[in-house]
């Protein structure tokens, strides 16, 4: 009698654990379906400018391609504030499995000397990407961001 009660408790606990695992898998699957799969392939950080390169996996029909995005951030106190996100190349034009950063250079343009003529401040990157192992690295792409300050 005591053994069968222990068995019932064990079965109940195992059933509950299995239900939790299934519910967790469904939640993760549902979250993954609504958000594109994304991975970071490069980043550069200076004193008041940071850029992060990510590739987002393509949608239906573009399973093996991805879209590359460069997000530029400016320092705001002790945190980073997004300036803008810019797409590098065409949408779904990068090989999801092999795209990588060959070189990434970030530049800040600041006018710290007073008095001086007005200077248009901007932050920029120059990035060369691995198109595929067979083809090699691409030409350099350049993007500019104008900070709010």
Q: Is 30 exposed, middle or buried (0-12, 13-18, 19+ CB in 10 A)?
A: exposed
pLDDT of residue 19: 53
Residues with Cβ within 8 Å of residue 37, at least 6 apart in sequence? 56, 57
Q: Is 145 exposed, middle or buried (0-12, 13-18, 19+ CB in 10 A)?
A: buried
Predicted structure pTM score: 0.69
**Total count of residues recorded for the chain:** 149
Q: How many CB atoms lie within 10 A of CB 70?
A: 20
pLDDT of residue 44: 95
DSSP 89-140: SSTT-EETTT-EEEEEEEEEE----SS------EEEEEEEEEEETTTEE-PP
pLDDT of residue 27: 47
Whole-angstrom distance, CA of residue 5 vs CA of residue 13:
12
pLDDT of residue 128: 93
Q: Please give the chain's pLDDT, 149 residues, in tens.
A: 555 666 665 655 555 555 555 555 554 444 555 677 999 999 999 988 999 999 999 877 778 899 999 999 998 889 999 999 999 999 898 999 999 999 999 998 765 556 556 666 788 999 999 988 888 999 999 999 887 75
The domain limits of the chain are 1-35, 38-145
Nearest to 137 by CA among 101, 106, 104: 101
């Amino acid at each position: 009698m005591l053994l069968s009660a222990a068995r019932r408790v064990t079965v109940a606990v195992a059933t509950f654990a299995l239900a939790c695992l299934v519910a967790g898998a469904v939640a993760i699957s549902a979250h993954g379906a609504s958000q594109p799969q994304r991975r970071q392939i490069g980043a550069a950080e200076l004193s008041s400018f940071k850029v992060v390169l990510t590739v987002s996996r393509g949608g239906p029909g573009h399973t093996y391609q991805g879209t590359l995005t460069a997000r530029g951030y400016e320092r705001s106190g002790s945190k980073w504030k997004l300036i803008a996100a810019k797409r590098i190349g065409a949408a779904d034009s990068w090989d999801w499995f092999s795209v990588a950063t060959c070189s990434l250079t970030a530049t800040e343009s600041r006018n710290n000397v007073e008095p001086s003529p007005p200077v248009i401040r901007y932050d920029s990157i120059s990035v060369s990407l691995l198109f595929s192992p067979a083809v090699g690295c691409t030409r350099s792409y350049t993007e500019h961001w104008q900070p709010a300050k």
